[in-house]
Amino acid sequence: MSFSLSLRSKIVLLAVASSIVVLVVGAAGTWLMLRHVAVRELDARLNTDAKELFRDFDNFTGGPRDQRAEFTERFIPLALRERWIELAGRHGELLYRSESLGDTTLAGAPPGFSNREIDGQPVRVGVFESEEMRLYIAADLGEIRRFERNLGMAFLLALPVVGLSLALTGRWLAHRALQPIDEVTRAAGQITAARLDLRLPEPAARDEIHRLVAVLNATFERLERSFEQAVRFSADASHQLKTPLSVLRVGLDALLHSPKCDGAEKDAVNELLDQVRRLTSLTEDLLLLARVDAGRLELRRVPCDLRHVFDECLDDARTIAEGRGITLEASLPARIEAEADPGRVTIILQNLLENAVKYNRAGGRLCLCVKVTPPWLEVIVGNSGEPIAPERRAHIFERFSRGLSDERIAGTGLGLSLARELARAHGGELELSESADDWIGFTLRLPVVAR
């Protein structure tokens, strides 16, 4: 899930989480320290009280040392009457106990200071000793407890408020920090094959984003140059290749019609003309691929009934198939309406059907099935024959790749690659959909409506 979070959310979440941890630790520390200080102060007050009491006892003649039975409340200074006090003699005998203690005794308290409860009320007990007696003084801890509670509550209440404001600040900061990246993304999105001359706007601050933009712009520069070279190549090559072909074509035509050319020579010239035509066609395929690579393939998409295109291609395929004893089965709807470039669709179909004949076995079957289920036009071309080995399947759409490593089978090895590129240029796809025992199937999908 964390993978789907945007960088902005991640920054905010991290900032808030780490701040809250720091806050909680800090608050807990403060709380513990304040509590410690308050208890220490109380202990100091208990200490003072004890010293005062001992001094009083020393100064008071006729005090508890002599007349134990008469040791009563009146020996306790007014200021200490809200404390709980218990006095024990040298042997542990009870000399005095505040009335408010009732039956509770403080005598079990360990030396030094400790906490305990009197009637469910938290108290701090200090134990002090002089030569003749042991003094227990207890003070109310309620106030400190209330202070602790209030402080804790205040921290708890502050936490969400602080957290929320941190989150908001974090969001704003992240937004500010990432805004240049958003701008880079937007600008980069507009740089397509059609607008490779555009560059990313360079931010004013010479920071990390500036460096990123500089690197990206340099990359786009190189991309544009190589793209231009590819475009120029396809235009130049077109001219450079087709001019000699034209000379050949026209020259052979002239030779064919010259009176000096007799029958046998005419046959030879006709053969040569066929080869020129072949070379022209190969050149055209290569140039078409070069244009595809340069992103300059122009499709002339028109709403049309492709049935005619299918009929023509099937007509050829059937003719070739019959010659090799292959049965052709075709199932296609009466109309095949689509927004497509009929010339390019012809190339795709012709290549698929030619392959299906070429890689078929003698006496085999060839199936063409067309289904129009908007938004797709689906064409399945299947043929009997040797399946394509799994390790070769990934390569059959590569240029100059031949389906079977059978040198006897003629072909340029451009057909499937070109067919796939043309299908993709239409916004469709061409895939090997089946390669089973004695059956190979290709599925062509073309969008019915141009997008």
Binding site for another protein (CB under 8 A): 235, 238-239, 241-243, 245-251, 253-254, 256-257, 263-264, 266-267, 270, 273-274, 276-278, 280-282, 284, 298, 300, 308, 311-312, 315-316, 319-320, 323, 343, 346-347, 350, 354, 358, 410-411
Asked if 442 and 430 touch (Cβ cutoff 8 Å), the reply is: yes
Instruction: Name the 3-class secondary structure at 295.
Output: coil
Q: Which is nearer to another protein, 169 or 350 (CB)?
A: 350
Structure tokens at 307: 């049935």
Asked if 388 and 439 touch (Cβ cutoff 8 Å), the reply is: no
Instruction: Name the 3-class secondary structure at 222.
Output: helix
Asked if 248 and 240 touch (Cβ cutoff 8 Å), the reply is: no
What is the nearest approach in angstroms of another protein to the Cβ of residue 190? 24
Q: Which is nearer to another protein, 151 or 255 (CB)?
A: 255
What is the nearest approach in angstroms of another protein to the Cβ of residue 191? 23
What is the nearest approach in angstroms of another protein to the Cβ of residue 200? 30
Asked if 331 and 370 touch (Cβ cutoff 8 Å), the reply is: yes
Task: Decide the pairing of beta strands 376-383 and 429-436.
Answer: unpaired
**DSSP code per residue over 121-159:** EEEEEEEEE-SSEEEEEEEE-HHHHHHHHHHHHHHHHHH
Q: How far apart are CA 298 and CA 300, in angstroms?
A: 6
Q: In 3D, which of 74, 138, 54, 44 has the Cα closest to residue 100? A: 138
Instruction: Name the 3-class secondary structure at 439.
Output: strand
The total number of residues shown for the chain amounts to 451
Task: Compute φ and ψ for 110, nearest 5 degrees.
Answer: -70, 160
- In whole angstroms, what separates CA 334 from the centre of its chain? 47
DSSP 78: G
Q: Which is nearer to another protein, 99 or 298 (CB)?
A: 298
Across 348-361, b (16+ Cβ under 10 Å) vs e yields bbbbbbbbbbbbbe
What is the nearest approach in angstroms of another protein to the Cβ of residue 243? 5
Structure tokens at 214: 């500089």
Find where tokens 């407890």 sit.
145
Q: Which is nearer to another protein, 296 or 399 (CB)?
A: 296
What is the nearest approach in angstroms of another protein to the Cβ of residue 308? 6
Strand order of the β-sheet with 327-331 is 327-331, 365-373, 376-383, 439-447, 429-436
Q: How far apart are CA 87 and CA 130, in angstroms?
A: 11
